[in-house]
Amino acid sequence: MAYYYDEPSRTFNEYLLVPGYSSAECIPSHVSLKTPLVRFKKGETSSIVMNIPMVSAIMQSVSDSNMAIALAIEGGISFIYGSQSVESEAEMVRRVKNYKAGFVTSDANIRPDDTLADVLALKEQFGHSTMPVTDDGTATGKLLGIVTGRDYRVSRMAPDTKVREFMTPFEKLIYAYEGVTLKEANNIIWDHKLNSLPIITKDGHLSHLVFRKDYDADKEHPNSLLDNKKRYVVGAGINTRDYEERVPALVDAGADVLCIDSSEGFSEWQSRTIEWIRARYGEDVKVGAGNVIDREGFRFLANAGADFVKVGIGGGSICITREQKGIGRGQASAVIEVAKARDEYFEETGIYVPICSDGGIVYDHHITLALAMGADFVMLGRYFARFDESPTNKLNINGNYVKEYWGEGSSRARNWQRYDMGGAKKLSFEEGVDSYVPYAGKLADNVAITLNKVRSTMCNCGALTIPELQQKARLTVVSATSIMEGGAHDVILKDKNAVVIK
C-alpha cells in the first residue's frame, strides 16, 4: 500500500519563531546575510557567496537583464528565464556582464557624418548621451571624438547638423591607453573632473569607456555582487531538452551559474543534463537543480553533482500544480526535511550542497522562517514581479497600479520544457495562471525594508549570521486561532480618508 506521512503538510504561515537571548552586540547593523550559492567541501568556502539570501525566479515575468542588474546591485542574483531562444537569453546575460565592468564596451557609437537626429535616436534607444565618434560607427573603430549632452542644444540646432560640427574632437579629449588599471582610470577622471574616460589601443582604436557614475555606484552600493573582473554576477535558466546548445551559449556569454528550471527535479532528465555539463566543463560551470520536496529527491540531485538544490512544488502564488495534478507538499515541511537531508549529506561526505526555498513566500517574515528552517537562500517570483525593474507592463486597473505576473506553466508562457516528462514537445495542460500583482515601486527600496525585517528578527533570536540563526532558532506550530490573533483585531482601523467633524 502507499506510504503515508505521519505529519500533515505545513506552510510557513503555520510557524512562529520564539525569541532567544540577545546580547548587546546583537543589533541589525551587525547582522551578516552572506550565504553560499554553490557546493563546497568542508573547511573550504563556496566559490560564489551572495551578500543577501535572495534570488529572483526563472520566469518571463520576473527575470530579465534589468532585474539581474538591479538585484546584483543589492547583493543577490537573478536567474534569467530560459523560456526564450538561446540567442535571446545569451544576449541578456551578455548585457548584464557588460553593463558594469569598470571598463565598459560602448553600446552607442556614431560616425562623424551622422546627424544630430541620429544622436537623439541613439539617446532614446540606449538611455544615455555619451557617444564615442568612431570612423566606422562601431565600438572598436578609430576614435575621432566624443558627443555628450553638453555638445548640442536641440532647440538651437537643425536635426540634420553633422556630428563632426559639434562633437568634441579627439585632440581635445583626455584619454588613456589599454593597460591602465581601473584605479588609475578613476584617478584620471577625478583629477580632470570628467564624466567618462575613453580607453584606446596603441593605434588609436576605441577599446572601452570608464564612467564616473560607476565609481560612485560602487561607493553607494557596497553589497553589489561582482565577479573577479568587477562585473555583476548573473545566473541563467536551462532545461533538460536543448542544454547541449543552450549551455555553451550561456557560458560563452559569461553566465556565472546555471539552474535547471523544472517543476519536478527527481528525474533521470536532470541527472543526464548535469552529467553532460560535468563531462564537458568539469566543475568550472556551476549548475543548480530541482525542484524536490523530500530527502530522497535531495540526495538524488546531490549525488548527481548539483551545485545547489531547489526545494518546492506547487507553493508559488501563480502555480496550480497541486490543483491540476495532486502532487506537492507544504513549503515548510519540504524545507525542513530537505535541510535535514543536506546536513546528513554534509556529515557523510564533507560536501555542503546549499538548498534554495522556492515558493510559498507570502510575507516578508516567511523569508526569515525559511532561513531558520535550513534554507541557505530563497527564490522569489511574485515578490520581484511587483517592481519597476521587472519586465512586465504596469497597468492602472480600477484606480490601482498593478504589474502583470504569469506562471511559466500558463498558456501565456507555454514553457513546456519546464514540465517536460518526455514525449510530445507541448504543454498538455496549464500548471500556472495569468494574473496581476500590486505595483510596489523600486526594487532597492523594497528589498531594504524586507532585509531590515530579516535582520531585526534574527537579532530577536540572538543570531548575527544565517548559520547561527539555523542553530539557535526555536520554532512553534501555531493554531488557526493564534494566526488570527497575530494580526490587528478587535479594533476599528483608521480610514486615511476619514473627515474630522468639529
Contact in structure between 377 and 356 (CB atoms under 8 Å): yes
* Dihedral sign computed on CA atoms, order 133, 139, 141, 142: positive
Separation CA 347–CA 476 (nearest Å) = 27
Sequential DSSP letters for 46-104: -SSEESSSEEE-S-TTT-SHHHHHHHHHHT-EEEE--SS-HHHHHHHHHHHHHHSSSSB
Give the chain's length. 502
Separation CA 27–CA 462 (nearest Å) = 9
Residue 363, all three cell numbers:
510575507
Contact in structure between 335 and 355 (CB atoms under 8 Å): yes
Kindly give, in sequence order, each residue whose CB lies less than 8 Å from that of residue 429, ignoring residues fewer than 6 positions away.
Answer: 324
Residue 260, all three cell numbers:
535547471
Residue 234, all three cell numbers:
548573473
Separation CA 95–CA 80 (nearest Å) = 11
Does 418 qualify as catalytic in the annotation? yes
Separation CA 272–CA 269 (nearest Å) = 5
Q: Which residue has the cell 504561515?
A: 13
Separation CA 140–CA 147 (nearest Å) = 16
**CA angle at 9 for the pair 7 and 10, rounded to the nearest 5°:** 105
Sequential DSSP letters for 158-196: -TT-BHHHHSEEGGG---EETT--HHHHHHHHHHHT-SE
Could you count the other beta carbons within 10 Å of the beta carbon of residue 499?
5
Query: 169 has which bridge partners?
Result: 145
Contact in structure between 389 and 443 (CB atoms under 8 Å): yes
Options 319, 356, 459, 461, the catalytic residue: 319
Options 246, 418, 455, 459, the catalytic residue: 418
Contact in structure between 425 and 339 (CB atoms under 8 Å): no
Crossing angle of helices 243-253 and 86-99, rounded to 10°:
20
Does 319 qualify as catalytic in the annotation? yes
* Catalytic residue numbers, as ranges: 319, 418
